[in-house]
Amino acid sequence: MALSRLDTTFGALADPTRRAILIRLMQGEATVKELSEPFAMSQPAISRHLKVLEKAGLIESSRRAQSRPRKLRAVPMRHAHEWLDDYRRFWEDRSTHLGVVLEKIRAERDERSELR
């Protein structure tokens, strides 16, 4: 995945309001009015958050009569997860290697203690 796409995804996820909106959309579609209800901010402010999420590809809107409900699109989060997973594996490998080194040091220390 292109790094600029990841930057956009992580930038969108950096804001707690946008994360809360995504959590709400995990339950199903919602209108701007429904999405703005739990927040102490105006609908235009919520709409700005929604535009950031749409630009990142994390949500999409549809048109139903007068309303434009939003729904979750999790594909960019999957790409972010895959990118992060590479680092998780890296740190797990480093941790395993550190464990092996520490065990070797302990064994050598114990061996020296027995020789005294």
Dihedrals φ, ψ of 37, to 5°?
Answer: -55, -45
Tens digits of per-residue pLDDT, 57-112? 999 988 877 778 999 998 888 889 988 998 898 899 899 999 989 999 998 888 88
Q: Are 39 and 113 in contact (CB under 8 A)?
A: no
Global model pTM greater than 0.85: no
pLDDT value at residue 62: 82
Q: Does residue 9 surpass a pLDDT of 80?
A: yes
**pLDDT, mean over the chain:** 90
* DSSP codes, 59-72: EEE--BTTB--EEE
SS3 41: coil
Q: Does residue 8 surpass a pLDDT of 70?
A: yes
Cα radius of gyration rounded to whole Å, the chain: 23
CA distances from 36 to 14, 32, 51, 53, 81 (A): 18, 6, 14, 14, 27
Give the domains, in start order, of the chain with CATH numbers.
3-115 (1.10.10.10)
How many of the other CB atoms lie within 10 Å of CB of 114? Answer: 7
